[in-house]
Structure 1
């Protein structure tokens, strides 16, 4: 029998995040500080709107691009939060999570052989999505001494005549790094001069702790060459509702909508109605969650300092990325032994790219009590290494 599988797909490695949590689910007394999922419930008014949509029989397909009312509210939200301005009819696509938006954007923008610049450490989907789009992923290794931000020099050194797309993963998963307006402005002349398009993944844009988020799409000359990707999973604690969106030039969004039409049809209808409510009436709920995350972030940073664990201070998302280089173990070895010996799951930095070696991702999307217990287990473990 012939091999029924595509070599392209079989050559892609499974997510380095999930295997640890498959083990945790089978291990009594194990706890996890690894999953990037808010521990808050979706705000009640949002859940209520989803329930109401079901009760009223709003269970039919929406338009391929999403409910018109939702696209209008997305535009209102981006205008007031980030000074981004889009036409809700021609420049917005509602997707099944931000992950679908990344996949569809790359497949619509890349031809075979086009190069996609991917700063790492970063979210695990960018590289395989580039491969599935028949593009060539080119990794830019971000450095701890630069707080894992992309510099102008690193960008210039990575560009070739085949470069077409730059992924901008800020605020960053797994590092928590944030780029300021001034830092983004240094990149813009290079992007424009080299005629590069940008996919800006801003799913954590609402979760910043040292000033407001700046979207690269809002900077002069960038709107026409940027796809801004965002969603509801992180800011509104709506991971299971599977809803995201992409905004950008109508020529790109129209092709993304066509691909979405054939692959998906439309995002879940009741989720779309719930998302309208989230955008209209949940600013205070989001602020409360951000305040709680910031408290947890500061608690972790203080605890690491007390334990002698090196960690640069992150100002976005809900992750810290501590260095474990001084302990003489690889990231994989450290995470495996920590899980086996202390029943605590964290993610090795190498799950997010080879340059994540020597680091761990720890999520603070957990209660203070869970974080306290997890830190106690980390301290017990590192004491055995001294």
Structure 2
């Protein structure tokens, strides 16, 4: 869910988009009044008072990285991450640098039409790591981002861009893996409050389990036991579209009210599923520890007991929640090094797919019959091939000599 406000000077949440796809649909075709305001703003100087008035007082905006509670967008009200990360590019557009669409879920022109908003999918984003995550992801994808446009409650003006790009089928950045080993400075919320666990529960013997390596937190080894690894000359085994599916028990930090029971229950169910011989006492220690350390407001003892009892007694297999495509021969590679190697493969795939699309258009041009098919146009090519509008128009623009000349027949 992506929270929306009516304008930047009033951060009261007025509506929400379910996902980025809904945002893109709005940006491509907003109300006519919105279109007129954006188009007029683009005729003004960015430094003018009139441009600023439109930007902050007349156009709706969204917060992309996190959604918020209590009906108001401010750092202390952060509820949970949206699963998306916003990257701002100032004074550059898609024509000025190459956008990696293997990872880029969406992008659109800014209000001024001189910059870009790029969106990637992420897993494990928190108020503490989002600045480092933005920096590292921008570095991996070679995005010339604006480091000044990074804050917990950053707002993004909703512009108008009929060519806004969207692709839901992209790779997800695992933030924890990407930042592993990096010295990430802790970012505190605007309140500067340090949360301290001073809650006391009667079952204090259940807190402080010693993690001795006997607990399984994922079953990737089991999921890959029948896989024959065939590494290429870059030391990569690529599963392609047949990604390995596996279970992972992960407990996020700073879980807010409203998500506590669901998050803790899923964690308990996954632990039981991954550890069939797990006794109830050990499970209790794990869940009570997570309740105290990971929830901003711990659940009471009765609620935690119910979660433990249900997970231990029901033993229903949870839905598979992780996939993995790439495996590396060199186990000492850092997350950033792994990401760069993956990008080499993904970029090659992208180039190959792009060439296949160009070949499709070229073949259509060669077989075009002006007498029966009429004059060739981008719209006809789009309808016949199903290719994206941007791709077809770029091909027409870049290959004028290949276009059948039906006017002179």
Fold-level match, TM-score > 0.5?
A: no
Length-normalised TM-score, structure 2: 0.24
Higher share of residues assigned helix? 1
Q: TM-score, normalised by structure 1?
A: 0.25
